[in-house]
Chain A
Amino acid sequence: MSARPPTPPASTLATTTGSLARLVEEARHVPMRAVVRRLDEVVWGSLVLVVAAAGCVGAAMADQAGRQAMRLIGDQSFIGLEYPVLGVQEFCPLVTALVLAQRVGAGFAAELASLVVDGTLDALRLFHARPTARRIAPMALALPPGSVVLGVIAVVVWELAGIVAMFARSQVNPFTFFHPEAVSKPMLVELVGKCALFGACVFVGATTAALRARNHGDVGRATTDAVVVGTLLCLLVNVVVDVAWLVA
Protein backbone atom coordinates (compact mmCIF):
# COMPACT_ATOMS: atom_id res chain seq x y z
CA MET A 1 0.00 0.00 0.00
CA SER A 2 1.69 3.20 -1.11
CA ALA A 3 1.51 6.29 1.11
CA ARG A 4 -1.01 8.88 -0.03
CA PRO A 5 -0.18 12.61 0.10
CA PRO A 6 -1.31 14.51 3.23
CA THR A 7 -4.76 16.05 3.02
CA PRO A 8 -5.20 19.81 3.58
CA PRO A 9 -7.63 20.82 6.40
CA ALA A 10 -10.31 22.17 3.99
CA SER A 11 -10.31 18.89 2.12
CA THR A 12 -10.51 16.99 5.41
CA LEU A 13 -13.54 19.04 6.41
CA ALA A 14 -15.15 18.31 3.06
CA THR A 15 -14.40 14.59 3.46
CA THR A 16 -15.87 14.55 6.95
CA THR A 17 -18.93 16.55 5.87
CA GLY A 18 -19.38 14.23 2.92
CA SER A 19 -19.09 11.19 5.18
CA LEU A 20 -21.61 12.59 7.62
CA ALA A 21 -24.01 13.32 4.75
CA ARG A 22 -23.53 9.76 3.49
CA LEU A 23 -24.14 8.54 7.02
CA VAL A 24 -27.58 10.17 7.10
CA GLU A 25 -28.36 8.93 3.58
CA GLU A 26 -27.41 5.33 4.37
CA ALA A 27 -29.07 5.23 7.79
CA ARG A 28 -31.83 2.93 6.49
CA HIS A 29 -29.27 0.35 5.34
CA VAL A 30 -27.64 0.05 8.74
CA PRO A 31 -27.80 -3.54 10.05
CA MET A 32 -29.45 -3.53 13.49
CA ARG A 33 -27.19 -6.36 14.64
CA ALA A 34 -24.14 -4.17 14.05
CA VAL A 35 -25.72 -1.34 16.06
CA VAL A 36 -26.47 -3.70 18.96
CA ARG A 37 -22.90 -5.03 18.85
CA ARG A 38 -21.53 -1.48 18.97
CA LEU A 39 -23.91 -0.58 21.80
CA ASP A 40 -22.66 -3.60 23.68
CA GLU A 41 -19.07 -2.51 23.07
CA VAL A 42 -19.77 1.09 24.19
CA VAL A 43 -21.77 0.24 27.34
CA TRP A 44 -20.18 -2.98 28.65
CA GLY A 45 -16.70 -2.05 27.46
CA SER A 46 -16.76 1.30 29.28
CA LEU A 47 -18.85 0.33 32.29
CA VAL A 48 -16.00 -0.50 34.69
CA LEU A 49 -14.10 2.66 33.78
CA VAL A 50 -17.21 4.90 34.09
CA VAL A 51 -18.09 3.33 37.45
CA ALA A 52 -14.52 3.79 38.71
CA ALA A 53 -14.29 7.38 37.45
CA ALA A 54 -17.74 8.49 38.68
CA GLY A 55 -17.21 6.73 42.02
CA CYS A 56 -13.74 8.18 42.65
CA VAL A 57 -14.60 11.72 41.52
CA GLY A 58 -17.93 11.61 43.40
CA ALA A 59 -16.37 10.42 46.65
CA ALA A 60 -13.66 13.08 46.41
CA MET A 61 -16.23 15.85 45.74
CA ALA A 62 -18.56 14.76 48.56
CA ASP A 63 -15.68 14.53 51.00
CA GLN A 64 -14.33 17.97 50.09
CA ALA A 65 -17.79 19.57 50.12
CA GLY A 66 -18.53 18.08 53.53
CA ARG A 67 -15.24 19.15 55.07
CA GLN A 68 -15.45 22.68 53.67
CA ALA A 69 -19.06 23.06 54.83
CA MET A 70 -18.08 21.97 58.35
CA ARG A 71 -15.10 24.34 58.38
CA LEU A 72 -17.05 27.37 57.12
CA ILE A 73 -20.53 27.08 58.61
CA GLY A 74 -20.37 24.02 60.82
CA ASP A 75 -23.31 22.38 59.03
CA GLN A 76 -23.34 19.61 56.42
CA SER A 77 -27.09 19.16 56.10
CA PHE A 78 -27.39 21.00 52.76
CA ILE A 79 -24.71 18.85 51.07
CA GLY A 80 -27.19 16.00 50.60
CA LEU A 81 -29.44 18.36 48.61
CA GLU A 82 -26.70 19.90 46.46
CA TYR A 83 -24.58 16.81 45.81
CA PRO A 84 -26.98 14.89 43.48
CA VAL A 85 -27.69 18.09 41.54
CA LEU A 86 -23.95 18.58 40.95
CA GLY A 87 -23.70 15.01 39.72
CA VAL A 88 -26.76 15.05 37.47
CA GLN A 89 -26.15 18.45 35.91
CA GLU A 90 -22.39 18.56 35.68
CA PHE A 91 -20.01 15.83 36.68
CA CYS A 92 -21.70 12.57 35.65
CA PRO A 93 -22.27 13.58 32.00
CA LEU A 94 -18.77 15.13 31.87
CA VAL A 95 -16.97 12.17 33.44
CA THR A 96 -18.88 9.77 31.16
CA ALA A 97 -17.96 11.87 28.13
CA LEU A 98 -14.27 12.06 29.03
CA VAL A 99 -14.14 8.30 29.59
CA LEU A 100 -15.88 7.67 26.27
CA ALA A 101 -13.52 10.07 24.46
CA GLN A 102 -10.49 8.27 25.91
CA ARG A 103 -11.79 4.73 25.51
CA VAL A 104 -14.34 4.49 22.69
CA GLY A 105 -13.09 7.52 20.75
CA ALA A 106 -9.50 6.26 20.72
CA GLY A 107 -10.50 2.68 19.93
CA PHE A 108 -12.92 3.57 17.15
CA ALA A 109 -10.50 6.06 15.58
CA ALA A 110 -7.72 3.43 15.57
CA GLU A 111 -10.05 0.87 14.01
CA LEU A 112 -11.45 3.23 11.38
CA ALA A 113 -8.04 4.72 10.53
CA SER A 114 -6.67 1.18 10.05
CA LEU A 115 -9.53 0.44 7.64
CA VAL A 116 -8.78 3.67 5.75
CA VAL A 117 -5.02 3.12 5.38
CA ASP A 118 -5.42 -0.57 4.55
CA GLY A 119 -7.81 0.41 1.75
CA THR A 120 -10.58 -1.76 3.23
CA LEU A 121 -13.16 1.02 3.06
CA ASP A 122 -12.34 1.66 -0.61
CA ALA A 123 -12.54 -2.08 -1.36
CA LEU A 124 -15.92 -2.38 0.32
CA ARG A 125 -17.18 0.64 -1.60
CA LEU A 126 -15.92 -0.93 -4.85
CA PHE A 127 -17.99 -4.04 -4.16
CA HIS A 128 -21.05 -1.93 -3.20
CA ALA A 129 -20.88 -3.31 0.32
CA ARG A 130 -21.94 0.03 1.85
CA PRO A 131 -18.96 0.62 4.19
CA THR A 132 -20.56 3.74 5.68
CA ALA A 133 -23.73 1.89 6.64
CA ARG A 134 -21.93 -1.21 7.87
CA ARG A 135 -18.79 0.16 9.49
CA ILE A 136 -19.35 3.81 10.52
CA ALA A 137 -23.08 4.37 11.02
CA PRO A 138 -23.54 1.65 13.69
CA MET A 139 -21.15 3.52 16.00
CA ALA A 140 -22.93 6.83 15.22
CA LEU A 141 -26.22 5.25 16.25
CA ALA A 142 -24.77 3.44 19.29
CA LEU A 143 -22.72 6.20 20.94
CA PRO A 144 -25.51 8.68 21.96
CA PRO A 145 -27.82 6.08 23.58
CA GLY A 146 -24.82 4.23 25.04
CA SER A 147 -23.60 7.48 26.54
CA VAL A 148 -27.06 8.13 28.07
CA VAL A 149 -27.13 4.65 29.65
CA LEU A 150 -23.63 5.14 31.08
CA GLY A 151 -24.54 8.65 32.28
CA VAL A 152 -27.52 7.30 34.24
CA ILE A 153 -25.37 4.53 35.74
CA ALA A 154 -22.75 7.16 36.63
CA VAL A 155 -25.41 9.15 38.53
CA VAL A 156 -26.31 6.10 40.62
CA VAL A 157 -22.64 5.36 41.34
CA TRP A 158 -21.99 9.06 42.10
CA GLU A 159 -24.76 9.11 44.71
CA LEU A 160 -23.61 5.84 46.29
CA ALA A 161 -20.01 7.09 46.40
CA GLY A 162 -21.18 10.29 48.10
CA ILE A 163 -23.18 8.34 50.68
CA VAL A 164 -20.20 6.08 51.45
CA ALA A 165 -17.72 8.98 51.62
CA MET A 166 -19.93 11.06 53.95
CA PHE A 167 -20.57 8.07 56.19
CA ALA A 168 -16.91 7.07 56.30
CA ARG A 169 -15.65 10.61 56.98
CA SER A 170 -18.38 12.18 59.13
CA GLN A 171 -20.73 9.30 60.03
CA VAL A 172 -23.58 11.04 58.18
CA ASN A 173 -26.65 8.79 58.11
CA PRO A 174 -27.13 7.56 54.51
CA PHE A 175 -30.90 8.16 54.73
CA THR A 176 -30.30 11.76 55.84
CA PHE A 177 -27.85 12.32 52.98
CA PHE A 178 -30.01 10.72 50.27
CA HIS A 179 -32.27 13.36 48.69
CA PRO A 180 -33.57 12.17 45.30
CA GLU A 181 -36.27 14.88 45.37
CA ALA A 182 -33.50 17.49 44.81
CA VAL A 183 -33.25 16.31 41.21
CA SER A 184 -36.08 17.77 39.14
CA LYS A 185 -37.42 16.47 35.81
CA PRO A 186 -35.78 19.26 33.77
CA MET A 187 -32.44 18.29 35.35
CA LEU A 188 -32.94 14.71 34.18
CA VAL A 189 -33.76 16.02 30.69
CA GLU A 190 -30.51 18.02 30.82
CA LEU A 191 -28.60 14.88 31.86
CA VAL A 192 -30.02 12.84 28.97
CA GLY A 193 -29.51 15.68 26.47
CA LYS A 194 -25.93 16.34 27.56
CA CYS A 195 -24.99 12.65 27.48
CA ALA A 196 -26.49 12.19 24.00
CA LEU A 197 -24.69 15.30 22.73
CA PHE A 198 -21.39 14.18 24.26
CA GLY A 199 -21.79 10.76 22.60
CA ALA A 200 -22.25 12.52 19.27
CA CYS A 201 -19.18 14.71 19.97
CA VAL A 202 -17.01 11.65 20.66
CA PHE A 203 -18.18 10.10 17.39
CA VAL A 204 -17.51 13.28 15.39
CA GLY A 205 -14.04 13.62 16.97
CA ALA A 206 -13.11 10.01 16.22
CA THR A 207 -14.49 9.99 12.66
CA THR A 208 -12.91 13.34 11.76
CA ALA A 209 -9.50 12.19 13.00
CA ALA A 210 -9.69 8.71 11.47
CA LEU A 211 -10.73 9.84 7.98
CA ARG A 212 -7.63 12.06 7.82
CA ALA A 213 -5.30 9.04 8.05
CA ARG A 214 -3.35 8.39 4.87
CA ASN A 215 -0.59 5.95 5.86
CA HIS A 216 0.21 3.54 8.70
CA GLY A 217 2.07 6.22 10.66
CA ASP A 218 -1.12 8.29 10.75
CA VAL A 219 -3.06 5.70 12.78
CA GLY A 220 -1.40 6.70 16.06
CA ARG A 221 -1.92 10.39 15.24
CA ALA A 222 -5.57 9.77 14.35
CA THR A 223 -6.07 8.07 17.72
CA THR A 224 -4.43 11.02 19.49
CA ASP A 225 -6.46 13.59 17.57
CA ALA A 226 -9.68 11.67 18.23
CA VAL A 227 -9.17 11.90 22.00
CA VAL A 228 -8.15 15.58 21.89
CA VAL A 229 -10.98 16.70 19.60
CA GLY A 230 -13.53 14.55 21.45
CA THR A 231 -12.44 15.88 24.86
CA LEU A 232 -12.39 19.55 23.85
CA LEU A 233 -15.70 19.25 21.95
CA CYS A 234 -17.36 17.73 25.02
CA LEU A 235 -16.00 20.51 27.28
CA LEU A 236 -17.20 23.15 24.79
CA VAL A 237 -20.68 21.65 24.46
CA ASN A 238 -20.87 21.39 28.26
CA VAL A 239 -20.21 25.12 28.68
CA VAL A 240 -22.69 26.02 25.91
CA VAL A 241 -25.44 23.84 27.45
CA ASP A 242 -24.72 25.25 30.94
CA VAL A 243 -24.98 28.83 29.67
CA ALA A 244 -28.21 28.01 27.81
CA TRP A 245 -29.59 26.36 30.97
CA LEU A 246 -28.67 29.37 33.10
CA VAL A 247 -30.15 31.87 30.65
CA ALA A 248 -33.34 29.78 30.23
Chain B
Amino acid sequence: MSAVGPATGAVADSDDASFARVFDGAGALMRRAGQVAGAVVRGRCDARETLRLVHDALVDASWTALVGAVLIGGIVGLQGLGYLTRYFATEVFGWAAALSAFRDVGPLLLAFALAARVGTKNAAQVATLAARERIDALCALGLDPHAVVTAPRVVAVVLAALLLYPLSALVILLVAFVFAGVLGGQSLAASAWSVTTYVQPAVLWEGLLRLAAFAAIIGLCTTHAGLSLWQRGDASAAAIGGAVYRGSVLSLTGIVVVNLVASWFGSAG
Protein backbone atom coordinates (compact mmCIF):
# COMPACT_ATOMS: atom_id res chain seq x y z
CA MET B 1 0.00 0.00 0.00
CA SER B 2 2.78 2.38 0.86
CA ALA B 3 4.45 1.80 -2.51
CA VAL B 4 1.51 3.28 -4.38
CA GLY B 5 1.24 6.39 -2.25
CA PRO B 6 -1.37 7.65 0.14
CA ALA B 7 -3.85 8.84 -2.51
CA THR B 8 -4.10 5.45 -4.23
CA GLY B 9 -4.19 3.74 -0.89
CA ALA B 10 -7.12 5.87 0.16
CA VAL B 11 -8.96 4.88 -3.02
CA ALA B 12 -8.21 1.22 -2.37
CA ASP B 13 -9.43 1.55 1.21
CA SER B 14 -12.63 3.21 0.07
CA ASP B 15 -13.12 0.41 -2.50
CA ASP B 16 -12.74 -2.15 0.29
CA ALA B 17 -15.28 -0.20 2.31
CA SER B 18 -17.67 -0.16 -0.69
CA PHE B 19 -17.38 -3.94 -1.06
CA ALA B 20 -17.97 -4.36 2.65
CA ARG B 21 -21.05 -2.13 2.38
CA VAL B 22 -22.37 -4.17 -0.55
CA PHE B 23 -22.01 -7.43 1.39
CA ASP B 24 -23.47 -5.86 4.54
CA GLY B 25 -26.38 -4.54 2.49
CA ALA B 26 -26.99 -7.92 0.85
CA GLY B 27 -26.91 -9.60 4.26
CA ALA B 28 -29.36 -7.07 5.71
CA LEU B 29 -31.71 -7.56 2.74
CA MET B 30 -31.65 -11.33 3.17
CA ARG B 31 -32.31 -10.95 6.89
CA ARG B 32 -35.28 -8.71 6.06
CA ALA B 33 -36.56 -11.32 3.57
CA GLY B 34 -36.34 -13.91 6.34
CA GLN B 35 -38.25 -11.67 8.75
CA VAL B 36 -41.01 -11.11 6.18
CA ALA B 37 -41.23 -14.81 5.35
CA GLY B 38 -41.33 -15.60 9.08
CA ALA B 39 -44.15 -13.12 9.70
CA VAL B 40 -46.18 -14.51 6.74
CA VAL B 41 -45.62 -18.19 7.60
CA ARG B 42 -46.50 -17.69 11.28
CA GLY B 43 -49.65 -15.81 10.26
CA ARG B 44 -48.51 -12.59 11.93
CA CYS B 45 -49.00 -10.44 8.83
CA ASP B 46 -51.69 -7.86 9.68
CA ALA B 47 -54.58 -8.82 7.36
CA ARG B 48 -56.49 -5.52 7.59
CA GLU B 49 -53.38 -3.46 6.85
CA THR B 50 -52.56 -5.81 3.96
CA LEU B 51 -56.02 -5.35 2.43
CA ARG B 52 -55.79 -1.57 2.80
CA LEU B 53 -52.39 -1.57 1.10
CA VAL B 54 -53.65 -3.84 -1.73
CA HIS B 55 -56.49 -1.38 -2.31
CA ASP B 56 -54.08 1.58 -2.29
CA ALA B 57 -51.67 -0.19 -4.63
CA LEU B 58 -54.47 -1.08 -7.06
CA VAL B 59 -55.82 2.48 -7.03
CA ASP B 60 -52.31 3.88 -7.57
CA ALA B 61 -51.01 1.38 -10.06
CA SER B 62 -54.08 0.62 -12.20
CA TRP B 63 -53.65 3.58 -14.53
CA THR B 64 -49.89 3.23 -14.72
CA ALA B 65 -50.21 -0.51 -15.42
CA LEU B 66 -52.92 0.08 -18.03
CA VAL B 67 -51.05 2.88 -19.83
CA GLY B 68 -47.87 0.83 -19.51
CA ALA B 69 -49.67 -2.24 -20.93
CA VAL B 70 -50.89 -0.26 -23.96
CA LEU B 71 -47.37 1.03 -24.66
CA ILE B 72 -45.77 -2.38 -24.04
CA GLY B 73 -48.39 -3.89 -26.38
CA GLY B 74 -47.27 -1.40 -29.03
CA ILE B 75 -43.65 -2.44 -28.54
CA VAL B 76 -44.51 -6.17 -28.71
CA GLY B 77 -46.70 -5.65 -31.80
CA LEU B 78 -44.12 -3.58 -33.64
CA GLN B 79 -41.36 -6.06 -32.84
CA GLY B 80 -43.46 -8.97 -34.08
CA LEU B 81 -44.37 -6.97 -37.15
CA GLY B 82 -40.69 -6.74 -38.11
CA TYR B 83 -40.40 -10.54 -38.19
CA LEU B 84 -43.80 -10.81 -39.86
CA THR B 85 -42.63 -8.73 -42.83
CA ARG B 86 -39.17 -10.36 -43.02
CA TYR B 87 -40.22 -14.03 -42.70
CA PHE B 88 -43.95 -13.94 -43.70
CA ALA B 89 -44.62 -15.67 -40.37
CA THR B 90 -48.35 -14.91 -40.19
CA GLU B 91 -49.13 -18.30 -38.69
CA VAL B 92 -46.89 -17.93 -35.62
CA PHE B 93 -47.29 -14.17 -35.04
CA GLY B 94 -50.08 -14.65 -32.47
CA TRP B 95 -48.08 -17.31 -30.61
CA ALA B 96 -44.93 -15.17 -30.51
CA ALA B 97 -46.88 -12.09 -29.40
CA ALA B 98 -48.65 -14.12 -26.69
CA LEU B 99 -45.37 -15.54 -25.45
CA SER B 100 -43.95 -12.00 -25.23
CA ALA B 101 -47.10 -10.56 -23.67
CA PHE B 102 -47.76 -13.32 -21.13
CA ARG B 103 -44.28 -14.42 -20.12
CA ASP B 104 -41.14 -12.86 -21.60
CA VAL B 105 -41.53 -9.13 -22.20
CA GLY B 106 -44.92 -8.32 -20.59
CA PRO B 107 -44.15 -9.27 -16.96
CA LEU B 108 -40.65 -7.75 -17.18
CA LEU B 109 -41.75 -4.33 -18.44
CA LEU B 110 -44.86 -4.42 -16.26
CA ALA B 111 -42.60 -5.01 -13.26
CA PHE B 112 -40.57 -1.93 -14.25
CA ALA B 113 -43.81 0.09 -14.36
CA LEU B 114 -44.90 -1.31 -10.96
CA ALA B 115 -41.47 -0.54 -9.50
CA ALA B 116 -41.85 3.01 -10.77
CA ARG B 117 -45.34 3.52 -9.33
CA VAL B 118 -45.89 1.22 -6.35
CA GLY B 119 -42.25 0.59 -5.40
CA THR B 120 -41.10 4.18 -5.20
CA LYS B 121 -44.24 5.22 -3.29
CA ASN B 122 -43.77 2.32 -0.90
CA ALA B 123 -40.16 3.34 -0.23
CA ALA B 124 -41.14 6.99 0.28
CA GLN B 125 -43.94 6.04 2.72
CA VAL B 126 -41.80 3.68 4.79
CA ALA B 127 -38.88 6.13 4.80
CA THR B 128 -41.21 8.89 6.03
CA LEU B 129 -42.56 6.57 8.77
CA ALA B 130 -39.01 5.71 9.82
CA ALA B 131 -37.74 9.30 9.66
CA ARG B 132 -40.66 10.57 11.77
CA GLU B 133 -40.05 7.89 14.42
CA ARG B 134 -43.38 6.16 13.78
CA ILE B 135 -41.62 2.78 13.70
CA ASP B 136 -40.19 3.52 17.15
CA ALA B 137 -43.71 4.43 18.26
CA LEU B 138 -45.01 1.06 17.02
CA CYS B 139 -42.26 -0.72 18.97
CA ALA B 140 -43.12 1.33 22.06
CA LEU B 141 -46.74 0.16 21.71
CA GLY B 142 -45.52 -3.44 21.73
CA LEU B 143 -46.27 -4.04 18.04
CA ASP B 144 -43.91 -5.94 15.78
CA PRO B 145 -42.96 -3.57 12.89
CA HIS B 146 -42.34 -6.56 10.61
CA ALA B 147 -45.87 -7.81 11.17
CA VAL B 148 -47.61 -4.44 10.69
CA VAL B 149 -45.29 -2.57 8.29
CA THR B 150 -42.90 -4.80 6.36
CA ALA B 151 -44.78 -8.04 5.68
CA PRO B 152 -48.15 -6.39 4.73
CA ARG B 153 -46.35 -4.17 2.19
CA VAL B 154 -44.52 -7.03 0.53
CA VAL B 155 -47.66 -9.21 0.43
CA ALA B 156 -49.77 -6.27 -0.82
CA VAL B 157 -47.45 -5.55 -3.77
CA VAL B 158 -47.51 -9.25 -4.74
CA LEU B 159 -51.31 -9.47 -4.50
CA ALA B 160 -51.79 -6.21 -6.45
CA ALA B 161 -49.45 -7.45 -9.20
CA LEU B 162 -51.29 -10.78 -9.42
CA LEU B 163 -54.63 -8.98 -9.69
CA LEU B 164 -53.29 -6.62 -12.36
CA TYR B 165 -51.64 -9.38 -14.43
CA PRO B 166 -54.67 -10.87 -16.29
CA LEU B 167 -56.00 -7.53 -17.55
CA SER B 168 -52.55 -6.12 -18.32
CA ALA B 169 -51.45 -9.24 -20.23
CA LEU B 170 -54.69 -9.22 -22.21
CA VAL B 171 -54.32 -5.51 -23.04
CA ILE B 172 -50.70 -6.06 -24.15
CA LEU B 173 -51.79 -8.90 -26.45
CA LEU B 174 -54.80 -7.05 -27.90
CA VAL B 175 -52.81 -3.87 -28.56
CA ALA B 176 -50.08 -5.98 -30.22
CA PHE B 177 -52.74 -7.57 -32.47
CA VAL B 178 -54.24 -4.17 -33.29
CA PHE B 179 -50.82 -2.71 -34.19
CA ALA B 180 -50.03 -5.75 -36.37
CA GLY B 181 -53.46 -5.52 -38.00
CA VAL B 182 -53.40 -1.80 -38.69
CA LEU B 183 -49.75 -1.40 -39.68
CA GLY B 184 -48.97 -4.85 -41.12
CA GLY B 185 -52.31 -6.15 -42.35
CA GLN B 186 -52.12 -9.19 -40.05
CA SER B 187 -55.55 -10.78 -39.71
CA LEU B 188 -56.98 -10.68 -36.18
CA ALA B 189 -58.54 -14.12 -36.70
CA ALA B 190 -55.19 -15.62 -37.75
CA SER B 191 -53.53 -14.14 -34.67
CA ALA B 192 -56.25 -15.48 -32.37
CA TRP B 193 -56.05 -18.92 -34.04
CA SER B 194 -52.29 -18.95 -33.52
CA VAL B 195 -52.74 -18.22 -29.81
CA THR B 196 -55.37 -20.90 -29.21
CA THR B 197 -53.43 -23.47 -31.25
CA TYR B 198 -49.86 -23.01 -30.07
CA VAL B 199 -49.88 -21.34 -26.64
CA GLN B 200 -49.71 -23.76 -23.70
CA PRO B 201 -51.58 -22.81 -20.48
CA ALA B 202 -48.27 -23.30 -18.62
CA VAL B 203 -47.02 -20.10 -20.29
CA LEU B 204 -49.69 -18.10 -18.44
CA TRP B 205 -48.77 -19.68 -15.09
CA GLU B 206 -45.11 -19.06 -15.72
CA GLY B 207 -45.80 -15.40 -16.51
CA LEU B 208 -47.93 -15.07 -13.38
CA LEU B 209 -45.21 -16.64 -11.23
CA ARG B 210 -42.57 -14.39 -12.75
CA LEU B 211 -44.61 -11.27 -12.04
CA ALA B 212 -45.26 -12.47 -8.47
CA ALA B 213 -41.51 -12.94 -7.97
CA PHE B 214 -40.77 -9.50 -9.44
CA ALA B 215 -43.45 -7.94 -7.20
CA ALA B 216 -42.00 -9.65 -4.12
CA ILE B 217 -38.61 -8.18 -5.02
CA ILE B 218 -40.13 -4.73 -5.48
CA GLY B 219 -41.98 -4.92 -2.14
CA LEU B 220 -39.00 -6.27 -0.24
CA CYS B 221 -36.33 -3.98 -1.71
CA THR B 222 -38.35 -0.77 -1.42
CA THR B 223 -39.54 -1.52 2.13
CA HIS B 224 -35.98 -2.41 3.11
CA ALA B 225 -34.64 0.82 1.59
CA GLY B 226 -37.29 2.84 3.45
CA LEU B 227 -36.57 1.10 6.76
CA SER B 228 -32.84 1.84 6.37
CA LEU B 229 -33.60 5.31 7.78
CA TRP B 230 -34.98 3.75 10.96
CA GLN B 231 -31.74 3.41 12.92
CA ARG B 232 -29.95 6.21 11.07
CA GLY B 233 -31.98 9.03 12.60
CA ASP B 234 -31.77 11.15 9.43
CA ALA B 235 -35.17 12.78 8.80
CA SER B 236 -34.09 15.14 6.02
CA ALA B 237 -35.89 15.34 2.68
CA ALA B 238 -32.68 14.29 0.93
CA ALA B 239 -32.48 11.13 3.06
CA ILE B 240 -36.06 10.19 2.11
CA GLY B 241 -35.31 10.85 -1.56
CA GLY B 242 -32.15 8.77 -1.21
CA ALA B 243 -34.12 5.86 0.26
CA VAL B 244 -36.53 5.96 -2.69
CA TYR B 245 -33.58 6.00 -5.06
CA ARG B 246 -31.89 3.04 -3.35
CA GLY B 247 -35.15 1.09 -3.40
CA SER B 248 -35.53 1.70 -7.16
CA VAL B 249 -32.00 0.59 -7.95
CA LEU B 250 -32.26 -2.53 -5.75
CA SER B 251 -35.62 -3.49 -7.31
CA LEU B 252 -34.35 -3.05 -10.85
CA THR B 253 -31.27 -5.17 -10.21
CA GLY B 254 -33.30 -7.90 -8.54
CA ILE B 255 -35.88 -7.96 -11.33
CA VAL B 256 -33.37 -8.38 -14.19
CA VAL B 257 -31.40 -11.07 -12.34
CA VAL B 258 -34.52 -13.07 -11.41
CA ASN B 259 -35.81 -12.67 -14.99
CA LEU B 260 -32.62 -14.27 -16.31
CA VAL B 261 -32.81 -17.14 -13.82
CA ALA B 262 -36.52 -17.72 -14.56
CA SER B 263 -35.91 -17.60 -18.29
CA TRP B 264 -32.94 -19.95 -18.11
CA PHE B 265 -34.67 -22.60 -16.02
CA GLY B 266 -38.18 -22.04 -17.42
CA SER B 267 -39.84 -23.88 -20.29
CA ALA B 268 -39.18 -23.00 -23.96
CA GLY B 269 -42.87 -22.22 -24.45
Residues 210-221 of A, flagged 1 when their CB comes within 8 A of B and 0 if not, give 000000110111
B44: A residues at CB distance < 8 A = none
Q: Which residue of B lies closest to A239 (CB)?
A: B74
Residue pair A52, B256 in contact (C-beta under 8 Å): yes
A221: B residues at CB distance < 8 A = 121, 124
**Which residues on A are within 8 Å of B, measured CB to CB?**
49, 52-53, 56-57, 59-61, 63-64, 67-68, 70-72, 82, 86, 90, 94, 98-99, 101-103, 106-107, 109-111, 113-114, 117-118, 169, 216-217, 219-224, 227-228, 230-232, 235-236, 238-239, 242-243, 246-247
A231: B residues at CB distance < 8 A = 68, 112-113, 116
A98-B252, A220-B244, A224-B244 as given contacts; A90 in contact with B259, CB under 8 Å: no
Q: How far is the CB of A80 from chain B (nearest CB, A)?
A: 15
Residue pair B67, A232 in contact (C-beta under 8 Å): yes
Q: How far is the CB of B245 from chain A (nearest CB, A)?
A: 4
Bound-complex Cα distance A229 to B263 (A): 29
Q: Which residue of A lies closest to B238 (CB)?
A: A114
* Chain B facing A: main interface SS: helix
Q: How far is the CB of A168 from chain B (nearest CB, A)?
A: 9
Bound-complex Cα distance A94 to B74 (A): 13
Bound-complex Cα distance A83 to B61 (A): 33
27 residue pairs bridging A and B, Cβ less than 8 Å apart: A49-B249, A53-B253, A60-B264, A67-B269, A98-B252, A102-B116, A102-B251, A106-B120, A106-B245, A106-B248, A110-B245, A114-B236, A114-B237, A219-B238, A220-B124, A220-B125, A221-B124, A224-B117, A224-B121, A228-B117, A230-B116, A232-B116, A235-B71, A239-B78, A243-B183, A246-B82, A247-B183
A227-B116, A232-B64 as given contacts; A110 in contact with B269, CB under 8 Å: no
Q: Which residue of A lies closest to B184 (CB)?
A: A246
Q: Which residue of A lies closest to B253 (CB)?
A: A52
A224-B124, A231-B113, A246-B81 as given contacts; A99 in contact with B252, CB under 8 Å: yes
**Which chain B residues numbered 80 to 96 have a C-beta less than 8 Å away from chain A?**
81-83, 92
A219: B residues at CB distance < 8 A = 237-238, 240-241
Selected from B71, B240, B245, B252, the residue in CB contact (under 8 A) with A232 is B71
Q: How far is the CB of B70 from chain A (nearest CB, A)?
A: 9
Bound-complex Cα distance A219 to B252 (A): 21
